[in-house]
């Protein structure tokens, strides 16, 4: 329950800063994880990205302010962090379906979006097989792409990297280099708060990097879950790990990358593992 309580404390922080700066790293500190892991947790738990949740809350409150009639649209736009009325109008219309000026005139319907409160819900039990392994640091070699600090902006970046790697023959070259565990093609989200976030397609190897980049995955304990199927099935497994396993596991996120290990190359019937970096919760 402590895990859920920390998430709710982070919701309080958001509410207190909707008219100021919302620091994703501060949200992560409240929840005792990295900004990357916080956003992943939030998206799976809430069913929408963090940035979209914040936008909806701002637009909900902006409508209330506009209904008051005293403030100008430009002042309300600035109040909620929009540097131009155009950007504010676009965001407002996207959420409410009408222009802000229409609300000031009165007699129109607007949407209300309430703050989220997280609770643990017990559903029909479905087994999840996993193991906990402690690994020393290991070296990977491959290709990477920088990631945006708002993870929803990366939804097209990572698939594009995989497509380019397949077309260019990179995946085949990397497959011939793997020679140390974990044996498989790796998708590594290296998203430490102290460094530029990057996503790697790589293998664990002792061979010279040649034309590729290298990265050292730090030592960590990992909760390792096995699965099979398509890209959609791996996303569903990751959702279940965060929403079902993690809250009651006795573990919390550790400061290490998330790893997907693809044990065979068939995109429609892949065998894979999801490695979640974990640490025992402190008493």
| Full-model pTM | 0.86
Q: Does the pLDDT of residue 123 top 90, yes or no?
A: no
- The pLDDT tens digits for 45-92 are 899 999 999 999 999 999 999 998 778 999 999 999 998 889 999 999
Distances (CA, A) of 93 to 63, 88, 97: 11, 8, 5
User: Which of 159 and 268 is assigned the larger pLDDT?
Assistant: 159
Structure tokens at 202: 């790589």
Q: Which of 9-13, 100-104, 175-179 has the lowest mean pLDDT?
A: 100-104
Task: List Cβ neighbours of 244 (8 Å cut-off, separation of 6 or more).
Answer: 123, 128
Q: Does the pLDDT of residue 104 top 70, yes or no?
A: yes
**Calpha distance 157→41 (Å, rounded):** 20
Q: For position 247, what pLDDT does the model report?
A: 83
Helix (H) or strand (E) holding 277: strand 270-280
Main-chain dihedrals φ then ψ at residue 39, nearest 5 degrees:
-65, -40
Task: List Cβ neighbours of 117 (8 Å cut-off, separation of 6 or more).
Answer: 8, 11
Give the count of beta carbons closer than 10 Å to the beta carbon of residue 25.
Answer: 12
CB–CB of 132/222 below 8 Å?
A: yes
Q: Look at residues 240, 27, 115 and name the one whose alpha carbon lies nearest to residue 36.
A: 27
Q: Does the pLDDT of residue 262 top 80, yes or no?
A: yes
Please give the DSSP secondary-structure letter assigned to residue 244.
I
Give the count of beta carbons closer than 10 Å to the beta carbon of residue 110.
Answer: 19
Q: For position 142, what pLDDT does the model report?
A: 98
Average pLDDT over residues 115-124: 75
Residue with tokens 């025992």: 280
Q: What angle do CA 96, 100, 104 make, to 5 degrees?
A: 115
Please give the DSSP secondary-structure letter assigned to residue 149.
S
CB–CB of 209/223 below 8 Å?
A: no
């Amino acid at each position: 329950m402590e895990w859920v309580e920390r998430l709710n404390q982070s919701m309080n922080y958001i509410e207190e800063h909707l008219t100021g700066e919302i620091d994703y790293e501060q949200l992560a500190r409240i929840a005792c994880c990295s900004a990357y892991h916080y956003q992943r947790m939030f998206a799976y738990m809430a069913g929408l990205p963090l940035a979209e949740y914040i936008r909806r809350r701002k637009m909900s409150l902006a409508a209330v302010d506009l209904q008051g009639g005293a403030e100008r649209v430009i002042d309300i736009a600035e109040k909620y962090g929009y540097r131009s009325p155009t950007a504010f109008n676009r965001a407002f219309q996207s959420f409410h379906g009408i222009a802000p000026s229409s609300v000031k005139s009165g007699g129109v319907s607007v949407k209300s979006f309430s703050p989220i409160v997280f609770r643990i819900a017990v559903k029909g039990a479905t087994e999840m097989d996993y193991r906990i392994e402690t690994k020393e640091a290991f070296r990977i070699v491959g290709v990477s792409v920088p990631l945006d600090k708002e993870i929803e902006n990366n939804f097209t970046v990572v698939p594009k990297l995989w497509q380019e790697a397949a077309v260019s023959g990179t995946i085949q070259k990397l497959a011939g280099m793997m020679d140390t565990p974990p044996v498989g093609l790796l998708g590594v989200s290296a998203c430490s708060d102290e460094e530029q976030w990057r996503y790697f397609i790589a293998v664990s190897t002792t061979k010279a990097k040649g034309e590729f980049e290298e990265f050292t995955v730090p030592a960590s304990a990992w909760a390792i879950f096995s699965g099979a199927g398509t890209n959609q099935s791996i996303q569903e497994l990751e959702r279940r790990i965060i929403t079902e396993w993690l809250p009651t596991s006795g573990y919390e996120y550790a400061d290490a990358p998330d790893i997907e290990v693809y044990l065979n190359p068939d995109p429609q019937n892949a065998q894979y593992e999801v490695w979640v970096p974990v640490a025992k919760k402190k008493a």
